[in-house]
Structure 1
Amino acid sequence: ALARYGKLPPARSAFIGELSLDGGVRHVDGVFVAVRGLRDLGYERVFVPAEDAAEAALVDGVEVIPCISLIRVVAHLIGEVPIAAASPTRPQTLLEPGSFEHDLAEVHGQEEGKRALEVAAAGGHHLLFSGPPGSGKTMLARCLPGILPPLELDEALEVAQVRSVLGELERERPLDWTRPFRAPHHGVSMAGLIGGGSGLAQPGEISRAHHGVLFLDELAEFQTPVLQALRQPLETGRVRITRSAGSVVYPARFTLVAATNPCPCGWAGDGVRTCRCTPAAVNTYQRRLSGPLLDRIDLQVAVRRLKLETLAGEPHGEASASVRERVVAARGRQMDRQGGLNAQLRPARLRQVAGLAPASRHTLERWAEQRGLTARGFHRAWRVARTVADLEGSDQIQDHHVLEALGFRLSEAAA
């Protein structure tokens, strides 16, 4: 068509979309990711389906032309009816009060669990709640998004990339500042949690939770191979999936919050209701959570059932907004000091930026020797102590910071 009018194809331009039989330009998934890739290859202009224009316009440094039909595209290229380029619109990075479904102010008691949530949010640490049914594990976990800061721009763009690949970006609001919260059922498949599928592998729940929260309720009920596949993403913040169509790497930097019962019936150690499980059944149930997996979970907290009189009264807890202020301040200290969260510190960097006072070093080393901590467990306790110190505004890790961090190592404390 361009040759008929003596026109050359536009330089450094690319075309994305699906043509219908009537010449219309239809929506396709993954436009945001494709446009970012084209920009990095040197393309300056991209023609996309009109309904995908807001998504494509999130990419800086490239002109986005929204297309309704092939005829309109040709008319634009020959200069008859120009199409105005799409303008990116980005929402304000604000979280309005009450924008979260769950608030810590609504939680009765459970002070240790609330504190664990604050430490997890401040340092990016993974967290496990263990306790009987009805003890409040799920309620606590669902309060975590409310004490996390909104996404930064680069984080929001990475989250948008995952949603773009899945075709889940909202056309009217392609960029969202709220951190993802994903809570897959314990029957989820390997492909559903980690990623996969036929052809080119699709992102799983761990990538959908990127820069947000992955909540795994009834952790011991998940398939063992599925849980084992979590180990590498928990360490690296990404997952590589290989299929016949090729290999793809997806981001998976999430905060894991897991909840589990102590036994199949749930009442082991309850103090009120009697556990009816055999010792062998309890052992088998608990062994589903392997040592290497638990070793990657920094905070492990026992949640007890509350007395009826406590539940009948009014909750007097601190509001999530107040806790979030401390979390934001602690994260700011970490970013200024090392450019990342404490949970992501490598051992060498940890030694550089997380100095231990003599008494605190002695306490940590003595505990590690007595409880037989692995090297990974030792460093994780050290990182948690650094986060506790950051919440207090302390430059150096003191003895009481270490003691609080060690109190969150449930598996070693029970050894």
Structure 2
Amino acid sequence: MSSPGSILVVGASTAALATAEALRRKGYRGALTVLGAEPHLPYDRPPLSKQVLSGAWEAERAQLRPQQALDALDAEFVLGDPAVALDAAARTVTSAAGRTLAADAVVLATGIRPRSLPGSDGLLGVHVLRSLDHAADLRDDLLTAANAVVVGDGVLGAEIAATARALGAPVTLVGPQPALMARQLGPRVAALLGTLHVEHGVRLVPDTAVDALTEHHGQVSGVRLATGEVLPADVVVAAIGSVPATDWLEGSGLVLEDGVVCDSRCRTSAPGIYAVGDVARWHHEQLGAMLRLENRTNATEQAGIVAGNILGEDRPYTPVPYFWTDQFDARIQVHGMPFADADVEIVEGSEDDRRFVALYRRGGRPTAVLGWNMPKQTRLHRQAIVATADALLTLNR
């Protein structure tokens, strides 16, 4: 199979840049264009809720590569111009500025967009966090916040709450789960994380839905809960999940269902068009399931597979799911799937010391390894998940 003469990557974040780099690393020398919606050069998103929001990093430090490295890619970066339409048959993308970009192969890496709280449009003091600009605006408000409320008890909400407390803001975190990050960690470790937040002054309101926002003269003033209680708030952050950025692909002919649907090689339903990163929903051959993962590790690993497949390698993408989070003095790393009904055993360290490795088993088989402030040991125990196909096959049961 010959290499395509030209490749267009739509999106300019981690997955997009990793795809471009992998293409060059694998020997591709043809025309390469990266089309990005934001005006910024490719930057890392995990630091937004931590180092950038806290002020420990200037925005420039989140940039993924220095200008010299980007120049060495010999790629054309077209930034600040969102894609608005795709002609899949012609492999042509139209941008908001009216550009028409055609290529022999197209990689969709448009990521996700955050969900907003109903009634929040135009309301001062209400934020989402997905971009550098979002982080700057939220930081400004947190530095003077009298009462901050984070709505959402997943990874992002928990990280924002931790950073906001470190900035000195009074923080209440409200969410529908019985414990903080329960779906991501399982009940045992989620309870420990909740304790950590409470010790640092975060007020947790679990098992509770948000009914509405209250306002005064265009400024948010509170969060009304389904219980009827109103939490006072001059800053509200919505961390209530996201949706794949596929609205611009409506009518393109691609299969769209919770992302861009792909086969195990990350190929879409249209020849010559691939998807990568947060927007890609692909068939995981070992799990026998469709997956869409929203994390940096997935974005970079999947990019390598996509680049190789464009160039004729024909390899399935079969990762062990992985994510990490930093909150207060805790670094938590998770390999695999820590099901809520799994049996959890501490195999190294101690929960009391808050340095431990936990092994999750379901039906007697390992499904996940979680490390709390034990990164090296966690990587070693990861082999329990990688070692056998049987362990992987239990993940979707």
TM-score by length of 2: 0.27
TM-score by length of 1: 0.26
**Which is strand-richer, 1 or 2?**
2
**Which is helix-richer, 1 or 2?**
1
